[in-house]
Amino acid sequence: MIALQPDLGTALLVVAAGAFVLFLAGLSLRRMGLILGVVLLMLPVAWHFMHDYQRERVLTLFNPESDPLGTGWHVIQSEIAVGSGGVLGKGFMRGTQAQLQFLPEHTTDFIFAVVGEEFGLVAVLLLLALYLFISRPQPVDRGHARDTYARL
């Protein structure tokens, strides 16, 4: 239903969250692989039903240089931001891509690129480590649950 809105981004997030819940529930890797295979086989059908602007966004994701002043602009600017940050970054509020408004929504959608530009690779790696730490499995907490539903 979400994909019919059309809100492809939210639909993909819901599918990813559902897959993660199935993984946590203990679905075997074989079955997950089977589901992934079916999804991959259905991609051409889904492509047919997508709106033109959705197809353009998907293509831009893989080749932003195909339209550098249009749909690829944001991706290219975020790559410039992260790359120009180097290892230690440019410093707080000194990132040119964010401060000069080359990155739209730099406080929300492109915050990762801003962190990379202003604080560098070190901060990006620390942020990724924090994400992994927060999302790590909690076997002790789930081990005391009575059933699968309670473990999720």
For residue range 44-69, what is the model confidence (pLDDT) as tens digits? 998 998 888 888 888 988 999 988 88
Residue 36 forms part of a structural domain: yes
Residue 61 forms part of a structural domain: no
Rounded-to-integer distance, Cα 58 and Cα 45, Å: 15
| Together in a domain, 78 and 151 | yes
Confidence of residue 134 (pLDDT cuts 50, 70, 90): confident
Q: Tell me: the pLDDT tens digits for 108-124?
A: 788 999 999 999 999 99
Residue whose tokens read 């120009």: 84
String of b and e for 73-108 (b: at least 16 CB within 10 Å)?
bbbbbbebbbeebeeebbeeeebebbeeebbeebee
Interval 83-95 mean pLDDT: 93
| Together in a domain, 2 and 33 | yes
Domain of residue 42, residue span: 1-50
Interval 30-51 mean pLDDT: 91
Residue 60 forms part of a structural domain: no
Q: Tell me: the pLDDT tens digits for 1-25?
A: 665 677 778 888 898 898 888 887 7
pLDDT, position 67 = 86
Q: How many domains does the chain have?
A: 2
| Per-chain mean pLDDT for the chain | 85
79, two tokens:
């790559």
Residue 146 forms part of a structural domain: yes
Residue 110 forms part of a structural domain: yes
Query: Could you give the count of Cα atoms lying within 13 Å of 42 in the half-sphere of its Cβ?
Result: 9
Percent of the chain with pLDDT over 90: 35
Residue 92 forms part of a structural domain: yes
Residue 39 forms part of a structural domain: yes
Residue 56 forms part of a structural domain: no
pLDDT, position 87 = 95
| Together in a domain, 79 and 139 | yes
pLDDT, position 34 = 93
| Together in a domain, 120 and 150 | yes
